[in-house]
Amino acid sequence: MADLRIDFAGIKSPNPFWLASGPPTNTAGQVMRAFEAGWGGAVWKTVGEPIVNTASRYGGIDLGPQKLMGFNNIELISDRPIEDNLREIAEVKKRFPDRAVIVSLMVESRRAAWHEMVKRTEDAGCDGLELNFGCPHGMSERGMGSAVGQVPEYATMITEWVKEVAQTPVIVKLTPNVTDVARMAQAAEQGGADAISLINTLNSLMGVDLETFAPRPAVAGKSSHGGYCGPAVKPIALHMVAACAQKVKIPISGIGGIAGWKDAAEFISLGATSLQVCTAAMHYGFRIVEDMTDGLNDYLDRKGFASLGELRGRATANVRDWGDLDLNYKIIATIDSGLCIGCHLCYVACEDGAHQCIEEYPGATSEKRIPRVIEEECVGCNLCALVCPVEGCITMREVSTGKPATTWNDRMRRVQRESGVAYTPSLWGSL
């Protein structure tokens, strides 16, 4: 049994799985049920001056029969009075002293307002604070949420205000709606943040009703851009977590499309310490955490990792600039004729969408319709293997080029040595 406990900037939790700030953490009743189900922590639904929500608020995108591949919302922060929230937070903490109770805050951008809110929240007994600099809709129009998180100077400043009074660790939650998220992470770190969490939701419009032309989610025939999340955003979140992990030293709480232990392990390997989940809990309920802890445990055991610390950041260093990738590494597609079912998706994908290196009917008599990779032509792009519906049927096989590893940056450095012209990897102008 591996050790799943974490110490996140001083916040202790029996496992890394926290509910993200959102509808599942709206009330004490929900959070306590979640803790009973096994969640290690919860970030309370963002507390602030109560707001009014719309009907409807959520939109979804399905992929075939898979519901909610992507999910969005135009809901605001908590619609409940601050006192009610704080009283319930105290109650939960009392009943579950071993779990992490973090409170998400969003206050108007005045120093005194933040000071007052931080003190009141900490008085309730929470383990930490999360500053919501990320909400992309509604609140940002009022100068809060991502309006703060998109301007590094504001983010630094408000973090500083909070840190002036905070007794518990301060997490800054980042918005992905920026060009360089690592820059925002650094701004938070600079303001004294103890940790960051990301990602909040992405700006999005879920669709348009083609009969009424009401965008979704519709409110009396109209809509507004909302926050996108769920499985579809995971790759974006992974990239952003990795980018931040390379730029800041403070711990990271990974968020975005996490629904299972594998997602969690990927985030951790890219540098996350804790994980937050919203959409998956909204979709399937709190019970999903059982398999998350179970699966993560077995995975760590299988890899021989005694604790999460041994997994953390294992993949971070493998995320590199394109210019650092080996240009002499060669793989080619190989079809397992025993597994091939003859759908010819690999053929049409390569023929129309890649490099025309699959023969559809090799040997006119091919009874089983097994296509053939023209190995001399294959550029090793992966496309056929990605479209093949049979697991393990197309594998990408490494072949030796007989040449030593070399990268674009190596080449440019060589050019520089030979020509004396300076080479700066990130600037096109110098090439």
Partner 1 sequence: MGLVNIAPKLAPEGYERNFAELSPRLTSQQALTEAARCLYCFDAPCIQACPTRIDVPGFIRKISSANLKGSARLILSANVLGESCGRVCPTEVLCEGACVLNGTGAKPVEIGRLQRYAVDYALDRGLRLFERGAPNGRRVACIGAGPASLACATELAQWGYEVAIYDRQALAGGLNTYGIAAYKTRAQDSLREVKMVENLGVRFHQNVVVGRDVALAQLEKNFDAILIAVGLGETWDLTLEGEALGGVIGAMAFIERTKTLPFEQVDVGRRIAVIGAGNTAIDVVTAARRLGAEIVYLIYRRDENSMPAFAYEYELAKKDGVAFLWQTQPVRILGNNGSVSGLECVRTRTLGKGRSAHVEGVPNSQFVLEIDMVVKAVGQRPVTDFLGDMRGIEIRSGQVVVNPESHQTGNPKYFAAGDCVNGGKEVVDAVAEGMRAARGIHQSLSAKKT
Ligand X SMILES: Cc1cc2nc3c(=O)[nH]c(=O)nc-3n(C[C@H](O)[C@H](O)[C@H](O)COP(=O)(O)O)c2cc1C
Give residues in contact with ligand SF4 (CB under 6 A): 335, 340-346, 371, 387-388, 390, 393-394
Query: What secondary structure, in 3-state letters, does the chain show?
Result: CCECCEEECCEEECCCEEECCCHHHCCHHHHHHHHHHCCCEEEEEEECCCCCCCCCCEEEEEECCEEEEEEEECCCCCCCCHHHHHHHHHHHHHHCCCCEEEEEECCCCCHHHHHHHHHHHHHCCCCEEEEECCCCCCCHHHCCCHHHHCCHHHHHHHHHHHHHHCCCCEEEECCCCCCCHHHHHHHHHHCCCCEEEECCCEEECCEECCCCCCEECCECCECCCEEEECHHHHHHHHHHHHHHHCCCCCCEEEECCCCCHHHHHHHHHCCEEEEEECHHHHHHCHHHHHHHHHHHHHHHHHHCCCEHHHHCCCCHHHCCCHHHCECCCEEEEEECCCCCCCCCHHHHHHHHHCCCCEECCCCCCCCCCCCEECCCCCCCCCHHHHHCCCCCCEEEEEECCCCCCCEHHHHHHHHHHHHCCCCCCCCHHHC
Catalytic residue among 126, 135, 346, 393: 135
| Residue count, binding to ligand X (CB under 6 A) | 29
Q: Which residues inside 375-414 make contact with partner 1, applying CB under 8 A?
A: 389-390
- Looking at 143-151, 176-184, 246-254, 345-353, which segment touches partner 1 (CB under 8 A)? 345-353
Pick the closer one to ligand SF4 by CB: 327 or 345. Answer: 345
Q: Which does 150 bind (CB under 5 to 8 A by kind): ligand SF4, ligand X, partner 1, none?
A: none
Q: Work out whether 65 is an interface residue with partner 1 (CB under 8 A).
A: yes
Q: Work out whether 64 is an interface residue with partner 1 (CB under 8 A).
A: yes
Pick the closer one to partner 1 by CB: 81 or 342. Answer: 342
Give the separation between CA 51 and CA 152, rounded to whole angstroms.
26
For residue 135, indicate whether it is catalytic. yes
Pick the closer one to partner 1 by CB: 193 or 388. Answer: 388
- Looking at 25-33, 69-77, 238-246, 334-342, which segment touches partner 1 (CB under 8 A)? 334-342
Q: Work out whether 61 is an interface residue with partner 1 (CB under 8 A).
A: no
Give the separation between CA 104 and CA 31, rounded to whole angstroms.
14
Which tokens in the block code for residue 219? 């409110």
- Looking at 67-75, 180-188, 291-299, 409-417, which segment touches ligand X (CB under 6 A)? 67-75
- Looking at 15-23, 148-156, 215-223, 246-254, which segment touches ligand X (CB under 6 A)? 15-23
Pick the closer one to partner 1 by CB: 123 or 209. Answer: 209
Site mask for partner 1 (CB under 8 A), range 356-375, x = bound: ----x--------x------
Q: Which does 394 bind (CB under 5 to 8 A by kind): ligand SF4, partner 1, ligand X, none?
A: ligand SF4
Pick the closer one to partner 1 by CB: 242 or 346. Answer: 346
Site mask for ligand X (CB under 6 A), range 78-117, x = bound: --------------------------x-------------
Evaluate whether 162 touches 178 at the Cβ level (below 8 Å): no
Site mask for ligand X (CB under 6 A), range 174-203, x = bound: --------------------------xx--
Q: Which does 289 bind (CB under 5 to 8 A by kind): partner 1, ligand SF4, ligand X, none?
A: none
- What is the side-by-side strand order in the sheet with 66-73? 58-63, 66-73, 226-229, 202-204
Q: Which residues inside 184-213 make contact with partner 1, applying CB under 8 A?
A: none
Which tokens in the block code for residue 83? 């006192």
Query: Shortest distance, CB of residue 286 to ligand X, whole angstroms?
Result: 13
Query: Shortest distance, CB of residue 333 to ligand SF4, whole angstroms?
Result: 9
- Residue 213: Cβ within 10 Å count: 9
What are the strands, taking DSSP E only, across 278-387?
Answer: 330-335, 358-359, 372-373
Query: Shortest distance, CB of residue 348 to partner 1, whole angstroms?
Result: 4
Q: Work out whether 82 is an interface residue with partner 1 (CB under 8 A).
A: no
Q: Which residues bind ligand X (CB under 6 A)?
A: 20-23, 45-46, 71, 73, 75, 77, 104, 132, 134-135, 173, 200-201, 227, 229-230, 233, 255-258, 277-280
Q: Which residues bind partner 1 (CB under 8 A)?
A: 64-65, 340-345, 347-348, 360, 369, 389-390
The set of catalytic residues is 135
